[in-house]
Structure 1
Amino acid sequence: MTIPLLNYTPKTQNARVEGYVVPGDDQPKIFSTENILSPADMDVLIEAAYRQIFFHAFKSDRERFLESQLRNGQITVREFIRGLLLSDTFVTSFYEKNSNYRYVEQCVQRVLGRDVYSEDEKIAWSIVVGTKGYGGFIDDLLNSDEYLENFGDDTVPYQRRRNLPGRDQGELPFNIKSPRYDSYYRGVLGFPQIVWQNQVRRFIPQDKKPKAGDPVNYLAAARSIASARGQTTPRVSTGNLDYLAKVPRR
């Protein structure tokens, strides 16, 4: 017997109010199959879906079969998103490398386009993961009224209400706020790796590079000669000399 989804409420009533958004360059771009005019537009939509779910998809992470079905109109964008969430890459990188609470938080951010309301919502969806598995949880998330009202079958999910008028700085992107791996697995995998270079490489324009005969080219040679002259013969105390070893044996 599956446990029904527990009731949870937002931490503030402002989350229920639709924001008055003035269109601008900072607003998220909406990708939908309703605006597809050419195959290039479909490529852009698919890249936006990968960026929303995976943040970055390597060549081995791409689902070519799902892409082909989406291009041919055999599946909708919502079914394509479901396929990405149930793929081996997402399960291995997000479900197996995190707790159920953190997995729920990342899926809500990427699928519903918002942060979790409270710990109660994490617990409620975590119970769904525990009883129905991650596949049943993904199905309930994509079939929820919130997803269908905001994105429907044809729109790629996006981060909603990213910019807040009452704050100088808006919400951080989900991929920065919630990285793919948990702190434990980041330590096991050796993340983050800090690489220090012994020499800082600077770009020098072609017209400013020293040409043949330029005195700058002899600067290194002059410095090597000066450093060689500065070296003096080390002084040795007479008390440390072994005179008997200096006498030749007859």
Structure 2
Amino acid sequence: MAIPLLNYAPSCPNTRVEGFEVSTDERPKVYTTENILSSSDMKDLIEVAYRQIFFHAFKWDRQVCLESQLRNGQITVRDFIRGLLLSETFYNSFYEKNSNYRFVEQCVQRVLGRDVYSEREKIAWSIVVATKGIQGLVDQLLNSDEYLENFGYDTVPYQRRRSLASRDEGETPFNIKSPRYDGYHRSMLGFPQMVWQNEVRRFTPQEKSAKAGDPSLFVDMARNLKNARGTVSPRVSAMNISLSSVPYRK
């Protein structure tokens, strides 16, 4: 018998309480099939869905069959999101590289558009993963009232209430706050790596830059002259002088 979902107390009122929304640059744009007018709009919607679930999709990660079905109206956006969550890319990149608790946190952020309320919610969804598997977790999240009320069948999930009128800056995006790999796997892969592709150039203000005739402009030239070795005349010893080369009077 499957264990029912444990009860957890909702918190984080930013995503639960409806308030006066102020349009800012940080407010996410809602992508839905209800206002698709051209093929380019559908292309943008698909790219946003990939960015929401995968953060970035390479050519190898793209689900061509699901994209074709979505373009032809055979499946809804909710079905497309479900296919991405059950894909091999999501399994290898998120489930295998994280614990069940962190995997649940990643799924809640990407599917429901909010942070987990508490550790009790992590435990509740982790039990679903352990008893019903990944497919059971995905189906229960997509069939939840919270998902259907906020995104329905035609809207791509997004981070809800990221920007509030009472704050100057919005919340950090999920993709930055919760990276794909956990700290343990990042250390195994050697992350982070600081690789400079080009030479780092330092900016010097114009008033502090050297003028013509400044001695600092000739430092490199002076160093080269100091390290350069001039032509040294060979030392002549009396032991290696040939008598035939010595001038003498006849």
Using structure 1 for the length normalisation, give the TM-score: 0.80
State the AA in 2 paired with 1:78. R
Deviation at 1:167, TM superposition (A): 2.8
> 1:185 maps to which residue?
185
Contact 2:15 2:114 in 1 (8 A): no
State the Cα distance separating 1:27 from its structure 2 match.
1.4
Distance 1:228 1:119 in 2: 66
1:130 maps to 130
Structure 1 pair 23–5 and aligned structure 2 pair: CA distance change class (3 A)? same
Q: For residue 29 of structure 1, what is the aligned residue in structure 2?
A: 29
Number of aligned residue pairs: give it.
220
Structure 2: runs of 5+ lacking an equivalent? 204-217, 233-238, 241-250
> Secondary structure at 2:106's aligned position in 1?
helix
**Which segment is superposed worse, 16-25 or 78-87?**
16-25
> Match for 1:114: what amino acid?
R
Q: Residue 73 of structure 1 corresponds to which residue in structure 2?
A: 73
Cα deviation digits, residues 16-74 of structure 1 (max 9, x gap): 32132123333110000011111111000000000100111111111111101101111
On the 8 A contact 1:128/1:136 being kept in 2, the answer is yes
Counterpart for residue 102 of structure 1: 102
Contact 1:19 1:161 in 2 (8 A): no
CA shift for structure 1 position 162: 0.5
Structure number with larger C-alpha Rg: 2
1:114-153 equivalent positions in 2, closer than 5 A: 114-153=114-153
Shift of 1:199: 3.3
Alpha carbons of 1:13 and 1:56: their partners in 2 closer, same or farther (altered >3 Å)? closer
How many angstroms apart in 1 are the aligned matches of 2:104 and 2:197? 39
1-structure distance, mates of 2:200, 2:13:
52
Q: CA deviation at 1:196?
A: 4.5
Q: Is the 8 A contact 1:46 1:67 kept in 2?
A: yes
Contact 2:3 2:131 in 1 (8 A): yes
Cα root mean square deviation, aligned:
2.7
Query: What TM-score results when the alignment is normalised by the length of structure 2?
Result: 0.80
Q: Is the 8 A contact 1:97 1:185 kept in 2?
A: yes
- What are the ranges of 5 or more consecutive residues in structure 1 without an aligned counterpart? 204-218, 234-246
